[in-house]
Structure 1
Amino acid sequence: MRTHGTEGQDPLPPARGARWVGRRVPVGVVGLAAVSVVALTMSPVNAEPDTQGKKPPRSTNPLPAPPQMRDLDFLLGTYTCDYTPPPGGKPAVLGMTTKKAMGGHYYYTDATLEPGKVVGRSSFGWNPVDNTFINQYHDNWGSSGNYSSPGWKNGHLMFKGPLNQVVTPDAGGSTEGIKLGLVDDYQILGPGHFRDNTSFTFPDGTVLRGSYDCHRR
C-alpha cells in the first residue's frame, strides 16, 4: 500500500487498494444523527403533518450515480500490478480488485501487496460541491490518506493529498509515523492496462518516485 521503510531499510511500495478510508462508532452515530436532523428540517414531506396517518410513498428512483464516475471505469475489475520502486527499493506485486458500491456512487478498491502482506482499501467518489474526485485510503498498518483530483487532463488523472504513513506497525495501536505528500498520476495505456506513477514528498523535501504497471486479469 503506501509503506516505506525507515532510513537504512528498503523502502516498501505504497499500497493501492483500500488506499485507493478510521471510523469510530460514536462519530458515525453523531454523523448519522446530524444528517437525519438536516433531512427532516429540509424535507418538504415534513413541512406539514400527515393528518391521514399515512406514510409518504417511498421513492422508487434513488439518485443515480454521478456521470463523472464513468471516468474511473478503467479501475473496475481485477488487476495484477508490477511495482517499480524508487532507487534502493525492491520490486513488488500488487493484486487489486475494484468494484462499484452504493449504486455506483463510489468505487472500492481492495488490494494486497506482496511481499509484506500489506492490505489496503481505497474509496473513490465524486464531490459534487467542489467538482473534484475524492479518494480515501487506509490499510492494515494503520496508514491513511485523503486525496483529490480535478479530473482527466491531457491524458493524466492526478490525485494529490496528505498521507499519514506508519513507519513500523504496532499491535498496541501507538507507533511512529510520518506525514507525506502523495501524488498518483494515472495513465490509460490500452484496454485493461494502465500505469500509476507515484511520488512521495517527505517533510525535508525529499521526493521518492515509483510506478505501478497494471494489467487486468
Structure 2
Amino acid sequence: MADSTSFKGTTALRPTAPEDAPSDSILINPPPKQMEQLDWLLGEYRGLTTPVPDEGEMQIIFQGRKILDGNFIEVKMTIPTNTNTGTVVGYWDFGWDSVNGQYVAQYADNLGSFGTVYSPGWENGTFAFTGRYLRVIIAGAESGESQGEWIESTDAFSFNEAGQLVDDITYVKDGKWEPAGNLVLDKVADTA
C-alpha cells in the first residue's frame, strides 16, 4: 500500500521518485540549447558605473550562476554606495521563453524596483533586453510607500575590444530613447 499523508481531514498519496533517480533532485526539464547563448553571464564580473548624482562612480559586482536545472541563470548585482545609504543588491533571472521564442529576464532589487525585459538574442554583436521596470527612486522603508516611476528601458550587452562586458543603458524620456549610462565590467579569473 502506498504511503499517505493526512492534512485537515484529507488523505493524499505521498509523492515518490523513480527508484533509479538521483537522491538530490530529479531533472524535470533539461535546459534548452538556447541557454548556451547566455553562458557569458556565468562567473564574476567587476567594474564601475557611470557617475550617479550624489554618488559619483560606484563599484559594481555581477555574479552569475545556473539555477533551476540550468533553465535560468541568476545574476546577483551588488553596488556598494559611496554614501551612508547602504548597498544596492539586485537579482536578474535570465532564461529562454520557449513558448514565445525569445529570451526573458526578470529583475528585482532591495529598493523594491522590479521589471521584466525581453530579447531576440545576439544581433550585430549585442544582446539587448528591452522592457519595463518600476524603478524605486526613494525607498519607503517600513511605511511601504516609496517614490518611483515606470520606465521603458534597454540594457544592450556587448563586449568591447578590450574584452570587457559593457551594458549600455537607455531609457525612454519624453517619447525618445536617451542614453542613461553604462557599466563596464572585467571578468574575474576563475580560481577554482
TM bucket by the smaller chain? 0.7 to 0.9
The aligned residue for residue 174 of structure 1 is: 145
1:70 lines up with 2:70 in the alignment: no
1:114 matched to 2:106? The reply is: no
Structure 1 stretches lacking a partner, 5+ long: 1-54
- The separation in 2 between residues aligned to 1:170 and 1:87, in whole angstroms, is 20
CA–CA separation in structure 2 for the residues paired with 1:87 and 1:175: 19
More helix by share: 1
Determine helix, strand or coil for the equivalent of 1:167. Answer: strand
1:160-207 deviations in whole A, cap 9, x for unaligned?
000101120011211221111110101123796311111122356573
Deviates further, 103-112 or 196-205: 196-205
1:160 maps to amino acid: T
| Residue identity opposite 2:170 in structure 1 | S
Q: What are the equivalent positions in structure 2 for 1:76-155 lying under 5 Å apart?
A: 76-85=42-51, 90-115=56-81, 116-155=86-125
Displacement of 1:85 after TM fit?
Answer: 3.9
Question: Matches of 1:132 and 1:58 in 2, distance apart?
Answer: 36
The residue type equivalent to 1:80 in the other structure is R
Alpha carbons 1:179, 1:202 under 8 Å: kept: no
Where in structure 2 are there 5+ consecutive unaligned residues? 1-15, 22-26
Question: Relative contact order (alpha carbons < 8 A, sep ≥ 6): 1 or 2 greater?
Answer: 1
C-alpha deviation, 1:58, in angstroms: 7.0
Distance 1:119 1:207 in 2: 25
Q: Tell me the distance in 2 between the aligned counterparts of 1:103 and 1:195.
A: 28
Whether contact under 8 Å (1:180, 1:203) holds in the other structure is no
SS at match of 1:68: helix
State the superposition RMSD in angstroms: 2.6
Q: What is the aligned partner in structure 2 of residue 201 from structure 1?
A: 172
> Secondary structure at the residue paired with 1:91?
coil
